[in-house]
Chains A and B, each alone.
Chain A
Amino acid sequence: MPDAPAGITRDEVAHLARLARLAVSDDELDVFAGQLDVILGAVARVQQVAAADIPPTSHAVPLTNVLRPDVLRPCLDRDEVLAAAPAAEDGRFRVPRILDEEV
C-alpha cells in the first residue's frame, strides 16, 4: 500500500488544472494549493485502514448484467439540439481550431 505523497505543490495543482481544462489565475492557484494541501492531509487518512484483503466497492448496489435489448428509440430533433449549441454550422457543432497535439 503506497503512502500518501508528502503534500500537493503549487506546480502540481497547476498541472492538474491544465489536465482538467481550467485556466486558473495565479491568485487562485495560491489559494487552491493551500486549501488542497489541507484537504489532502485530511483525506489521506483513508490510507490508515483497509488492507489489501479488502475488496473495493465501486457500486453501492450489487447488480450485474443490466442490459437493454438492441432496439431503436426516437432521436432528438437536430434543430432543437443545435439551437442549444454555442455555435453551429451546416448541421454540425462548430468549434474553434483544434490544437495539433490532440490528434
Chain B
Amino acid sequence: MNAWLILPIAWPLAAGALGLALSGSNTAQRLIAVIGAVGQLVAAVVLLLTVNAQGTQVLHMGSWPAPFGISLVADHFASFVLVAGSLAGCASVIFAALTVGRQRLTHGYFVLTNVLLAAVAGAFLTGDLFNLYVWFEVMLIASFVLLAMGPYPRQAAGATNYVALNLVASATFLVGAGVAYALTGTLNFADLALRLPLVESRPLVLILAALLIAAFASKAAAYPLSAWLPSSYHTPAPDVSALFAGLLTKVGVYALARSVTLFFPEDALVRNVVLGLAGLTMLVGVFGALAQFNMRRLLSFHIASQVGYMLMGLGLLTPLALAGTTFYMAQHMITKTALFLVAGVVERRTGTGYLKRLGGLYRTNLALTVVFALAALSLAGIPPFAGFVAKFTLVRAGTAVESWVIVGISIVVSLLTLMSMVKIWNEAFWKDRPEGEVEHDAARMHALPRSVPRWVVILPAGTLALASVAMGFAAGPLMEYAIAAGEELADRSVYIEAVLGEDAWADLETMTVEAMEASR
C-alpha cells in the first residue's frame, strides 16, 4: 500500500471538510486553507521522489484488484504535473489567505479551494475513466461557486458562460465514458488501453476518440472550444483567477494526453486533429491576447494560447515531444500563476487592471517589477528560463519529425506572446500613471487588509517566479524526469503492466472467455 498516492487527494479534502465544520472561526479557515495546500504539496513531492526511485506507483482503492475497483496511478507524467500544480495551488491559496475578505471567508471560500485542489489531484492520479469524470464534476462545481462568489455584477455573466459551456463538455465526456464502457466493458485506463485494439469497427473507436477529444479539448480551452475561458477568468477577484489559471485547463490537457497516448496512440487521424487544434489554439489565443487592455483578460487569452503548445507535443507524439508537453505543462502552471498573482497585487494596489489607467509601477514598486519581468520572460520563452526549456524541447521534437507548419506557428506565436508581454510592461510598468486615474470604489473594494505588510503579498508570486527561473537553470534533472515521462507516455505497456501486472495480455484472453461464459 502506498499511502502517498491518496494523500494529495484526501488531505485537502479532509481539510475542506474540517473547514466546513469550523466555519465559525475565520482564523481557522485561513489556517486550514494553508494546511490543506501545503500538505498536498508535501505529499506530491514525496510521491514524485518515490516515482523517481521506484517507477510507476499504483494504489488499488478498497484493495479491489484492477480493473474491478478504482486504481490510482502515479507515473512520471502524473507526479510531475501534480507537483507543479500543487506548488501553483499552494501559492494562490496563500495569496488568498492574505487577501480574501471576511465575507467570502465565512461562506466557505477555503472549503472550496481545498476541494478544488483535491479534485485536481484526483484527476491527475486516477486511473479510471469514470472516476476522472467524477473529479471533473467536483472541479467544475467548486470552481463555479468560486467564480460566482463575490460582489461584482460581471461575475454572474462570467460564471454563466463558464458553467454552461463546461456542462456541455462534461455531458460529452459522460457520453464518451458510456461509449468506452459499451465498447470494452471496462473503465480502467489500462484495461481500456488493452481492450480497445480488439474492437474491430474503426468508426466506433473513432466515435470514442471524437467524444473524448471534444470533451477534453473543451476542458483544456482549445480553440474553437475555448470561449468559456476568456469570458470568465477575469471576472472574479484576482485570487480566484490565479488559482484557476494554473490548474483547470491543465487537467483537460492531462486527460487528453492520457487518452491519446493510452487509447489512440497509433491513429494518425487523431494525431493530426490534435496538431490542428494545437496550431489554431496557439494562434487564436495569442491574437486574442494582443487585442486586450485588461491585464487579467490578456493573460487569460494566453492560457489558451499556451495550451496549444502543450497540444503540439501531444500531436507530435514522440517521446521527446511528450517530454516537452510534460515540461511545458509544469512550467506553465507555475509561471502563469505567478503572472496572475502579479496582476492580483497590481489590482489590489491600484484598484484597476486596465492597462490604460495603470502606469508607473517600475518607479514605485521594484520588487513587483522584477517578479513580473522574470515571469513574463519565462512565459514568452526567453532563455534561460523554464518557458524556453519547454519551447526548445517542443521545437526540437517538431524539427526532428519535420513538422514544419507547427514549428513555424509555435515560433511566430512565441514572438507575439512577447509582444503582448511588452504591451503590459510598457503600459503598466514603464509609462507614467495617467493623472487622476483612481477609481475610488474599485480601490476600496480591492484594498488590501491593513494588517498585511506590502511586501508579504508579493511573496507567493515571487516564489513562483523564482521557481520558474530555477526550472530553467536547474533544467538538467527536471528534464530528465520529463524525458522519463515522455518515454512512458510513448510506450503504454509501462502503464498497462504497472496497473494490471506483467501478465496483462495473457490474462486478457482468459478473463474475457470466463466473463463470456459467466454472462450466459
A binds B: no
